[in-house]
Amino acid sequence: SQQGEEDPQALSIQEGENATMNCSYKTSINNLQWYRQNSGRGLVHLILIRSNEREKHSGRLRVTLDTSKKSSSLLITASRAADTASYFCATDAKAQKLVFGQGTRLTINP
Amino acid sequence: DGGITQSPKYLFRKEGQNVTLSCEQNLNHDAMYWYRQDPGQGLRLIYYSQIVNDFQKGDIAEGYSVSREKKESFPLTVTSAQKNPTAFYLCASTTSGGAIETQYFGPGTRLLVL
């Protein structure tokens, strides 16, 4: 089974609204990462949060990590059409390997 | 430009044929990875290599083979034993070490069966 489970599987919002995606995992981790994938392209790294961090910001992105609940959330503020993509969380629960979730498909409507 | 390149962008395989997907990086990364992605799904690890001349099986290695003769290159061969090869294949690399840091991905190769 997947280590990371994203929720929701799909999300559709209006441009300018905020988008929140969640990720849950099963075992202890050193860090958790979020990636974006535009349709038919490779993944692009967005942000890495370590197990001793609770919150991290990068531009319009805010990531939180709750190790007691084994969950993370990615918030994209003031969404834009260019944010339309799939978003994946990845954990390093297995040594030297990342385990990816199934992803959240985000659609930003103009 | 530093980065990872994959070729070809599209690849067609005939029944019983082996095909090889290319992955090259100039980031001076030690570790390289191959993933398979099926439509609407996440990534599944096929093989990975942390150092030249060494590689390990991932979660779905059956029907695939790799080599790591040079630091920059990590080609993946999809053999005839892989009965359902149609998928999007992604190569990635990262600096080696303890915890996994950021992985850098190539643009992918889409493999289709004729």
pLDDT tens for B44-92 read: 999 999 999 999 999 999 999 999 999 999 999 999 999 899 999 999 9
Residues 6-65 of B with CB under 8 A from A: 6, 31, 33, 35, 40-45, 48, 50, 58
How many Cα atoms occupy the beta-carbon half-sphere of A85 within 13 Å? Answer: 19
For B34-45, the pLDDT digits (tens) are: 999 998 889 999
A28 vs B contacts (CB less than 8 Å): none
- Region of poorest pLDDT, from A15-29, A57-71, A95-109: A95-109
User: CA of B80, closest CA in chain A: separation in Å?
Assistant: 25
- Region of poorest pLDDT, from A34-43, A89-98, B95-104: B95-104
Q: What is the mean pLDDT of chain A?
A: 93
Q: In what order do the strands lie in the sheet with B76-78?
A: B4-7, B19-25, B76-78, B64-66
| Own/partner long-range contacts of B68-71 (Cβ < 8 Å, ≥24 apart) | B68/B32, B71/B28, B71/B29, B71/B30
Is a pLDDT exceeding 80 seen at residue B15?
yes
Picking from A1, A3, A5, A20, the residue whose alpha carbon sits closest to that of residue A106 is A20
User: Using an 8 Å Cβ cutoff, are A73 and A23 in contact?
Assistant: yes
